[in-house]
Amino acid sequence: MAKFHERVFSGVQPTGNLHLGNYLGAITKFVALQKSYECIYCVVDLHAITVPQAPRELEANTREVTAAFIASGVDPVRHIIFNQSQVSEHAELGWIFNCVARVGWLNRMTQFKEKAGKDRENASVGLYSYPTLMAADILVYRATHVPVGDDQKQHLELSRDIAQKFNNDFAESISRRGFGDGYFPLPEPLIQGPATRVMSLRDGAKKMSKSDPSDYSRLNLSDDADAIAQKVRKAKTDPEPLPSEEAGLEKRPEAQNLVGIYAALAETTVAAVLGQFGNANFSTFKTALVDLAVARLGPICTEMKRLQGDQKYLDDVLKDGADRARVIAAANMRDIKGILGFIR
Ligand code: AMP
Ligand code: TRP
């Protein structure tokens, strides 16, 4: 396989209620990767409309995600932040990938099954083909590394399958144009650390999610200190004290979740947290968790609100990011059209 220029790409949907799972599973990784890579972070509005969105809320939610990226430490000058619909190459390559991916591949996607629920006949066609657009998001920049939470693993595997099939199907045309033995890299998922799957505070078997009807199930990035304290205190636990070894967390999903959250917020390991809190009861541990969560999330919440008050700044960031992203995407799209045999 040819050597590719290393580049990070990831996306977050502007669907409201940004929460601790988004922050620990994705956004903190986005921040850390800036040191070693050229990074592109996208507010994926074309993905959001796979389910109905009220236009005014979509605008507000797009600015909220933008503000969350910046408040958390993503640098929109050295790296790129933009919203997907401003770079039409995403949708264009998405169509091409609809013709590369197989129906059988999409039929295996568990997220579609969950999101479409029982009334599958009534789901949008976009919700079904969503993973081909996600592959296009990544591959239109020929990105090599993709930080995401655990729930996106299957979609990343599909992106790799699409890249591989395109490289195989057009191998002759790719090599004739001087791109060696593959035009697209096989993008690598970066799913690491103690909080790749943050669970609901009300039910340790359910993922923390934007769409859970109970606000007590999640810590929102917009929650103030009082809300954080209330939600952590009410979080479901079991009657036992915390174990001192990791093995003792097995079959205790709520305890495992809270310890994982603590470890991620403190930037340490689960083992180290249990070293400190082993044999402590939950009320002691929860008090420490509230203090830590408020210390970490409080400043982000404040900065997000400040940025959200400056709509012009946020819209300028998105436009400037889109202008820079488009330069990369357009050059690649030109290659891709040549490879396919489209006259340019
Ligand atoms: P979404 O809100 O679905 O656009 O997700 C944005 C990013 O957050 C993706 O990388 C997801 O994998 C990640 N994410 C969403 N929910 C969670 C969760 N409960 N735990 C960890 N990561 C999550
Ligand atoms: N599907 C992702 C989610 O729901 C969001 C997303 C869209 C994405 N395009 C992407 C993530 C490309 C990583 C890379 O969370």
Cα dihedral 159, 160, 165, 166 sign:
positive
Which atom belonging to ligand 1 lies closest to the Cα atom of 147?
10
The residue to mutate among 130, 151, 203, having the most atoms of ligand 1 within 8 angstroms of its beta carbon, is: 151
d(CA 81, CA 44): 11
pTM above 0.75, yes or no: yes
**Look-up: residue for tokens 């059209």?**
337
Q: Supply the pLDDT for residue 126.
A: 98
What's the pLDDT score for residue 336?
A: 98
pLDDT of residue 1: 63
Residue nearest to atom 5 of ligand 1 (CA): 12
Residues 227, 16, 323, CA angle at the centre, nearest 5°?
Answer: 130
pLDDT for residue 3:
82
Q: In terms of Cα–Cα distance, which of 255, 265, 245 is closest to 285?
A: 255
Nearest to 340 by CA among 91, 189, 169, 130: 169
Question: What is the number of the ligand 1 atom nearest to the C-alpha of 13?
Answer: 4
145-147, strands of its sheet edge to edge = 80-83, 38-43, 7-12, 145-147, 188-190
Task: List residues bridging with 40 in a β-sheet.
Answer: 9, 80
User: Of 237, 230, 227, nearest to 297 (Cα)?
Assistant: 227
Taking the C-alpha atoms of residue 329 and residue 322, their distance in angstroms, rounded to an integer, is: 10
Query: 143: helix, coil or strand?
Result: coil
How much is the pLDDT for 165?
98
| Per-residue tens of pLDDT for the chain, all 344 residues | 668 999 999 999 999 999 999 999 999 999 999 999 999 999 999 999 999 999 999 999 999 999 999 999 999 999 999 999 999 999 999 999 999 999 999 999 999 999 999 999 999 999 999 999 999 999 999 999 999 999 999 999 999 999 999 999 999 999 999 999 999 999 999 999 999 999 999 999 999 999 999 999 999 999 999 999 999 999 999 999 999 999 999 999 999 999 999 999 999 999 999 999 999 999 999 999 999 999 999 999 999 999 999 999 999 999 999 999 999 999 999 999 999 999 99
* Closest-CA residue to 15 (of 209, 200, 180, 282): 209
Strand bridging mode 188-190 / 80-83: unpaired
- C-alpha 337 – ligand 1 centre gap (Å): 33
Which residues, in sequence order, are CB contacts of 57 under 8 Å at separation 6+? Answer: 16
* 88 Cα: distance to centroid of ligand 2 (angstroms): 17
